[in-house]
Amino acid sequence: MDKKRKVYAPFSQTSEAGVAQTPVEGYIDVNQMIYPTVSTGTVNENGTWVGVKASDANFIDITKHVAVANGGETLSPDTGTVNFIDMTGFNDIQLAVKPTNGGNYAIEAVMGPDTNRYANLSPVAAGAGLRGNENTTGKDCDLLFRDTAESFTADVWNILSIRNVVANIKLLQFKITNNSGGESTMEVGIMRLV
């Protein structure tokens, strides 16, 4: 949008015209151009393009774990093509679980499979609980996320919001243990949030 407006200048129109005396107070015409911009990212200090992260619009990487026995464990996601979650640039995550048998389930954030690299490191301790210091008080490293008895209702999506503790983890899976007292088929999906 192109617009003309008058703005205050520290000199007058007479000084602009070349008169030796400079009276105070002068206004000049200024062309003002306003353009809308959209920022889609930046080039970081390493010279790499980094896009602006946005939260997932829907639950992704939905995995179906068929007939998990009572006491049995499963890792999610494991869609066949996607077998870990990359939380780089994301702070929070929502985990959705739809079991066919209601009852208690244990959930733990673990290191993803050793078939993938963690940045430039390989192999990793696959299935090991993720450890870290979740605050700045200087306390020792603990498991970042471990819920030993989460009660789920059968045949509906049970959604957990996990805030900040797995932020920026590059190779994440959730180990889910069926402690419901019977066999259960589970569908599991995730949604990453900025």
62 is a domain residue: yes
> Structural domain tally of the chain?
2
What are the tens digits of pLDDT across the range 83-106?
A: 999 999 999 999 999 999 999 999
Does pLDDT of 19 surpass 80?
A: no
114 and 175 in a single domain? The answer is yes
80 and 117 in a single domain? The answer is yes
65 and 132 in a single domain? The answer is yes
What's the CA gap between 100 and 154, in Å, rounded? 5
CATH code of the domain in which 169 resides: 2.60.120.380
Does pLDDT of 10 surpass 80?
A: no
40 is a domain residue: no
Task: Spell 53-72 as b/e; 16+ CB within 10 A means b.
Answer: eeebeebebbbebeebeeee
pTM score, whole prediction: 0.76
DSSP 129: B
63 and 8 in a single domain? The answer is no
What's the CA gap between 32 and 12, in Å, rounded? 20
Q: Please spell the DSSP secondary structure of 133-189, one letter per residue.
A: --SSS-PPPEES-EEEEEEE-TTS-EEEEE-STTTT-SSEEEEEEEESSS-EEEEEE
166 and 114 in a single domain? The answer is yes
19 and 68 in a single domain? The answer is no
72 and 160 in a single domain? The answer is yes
% of the chain beyond a pLDDT of 90: 65
76 and 150 in a single domain? The answer is yes
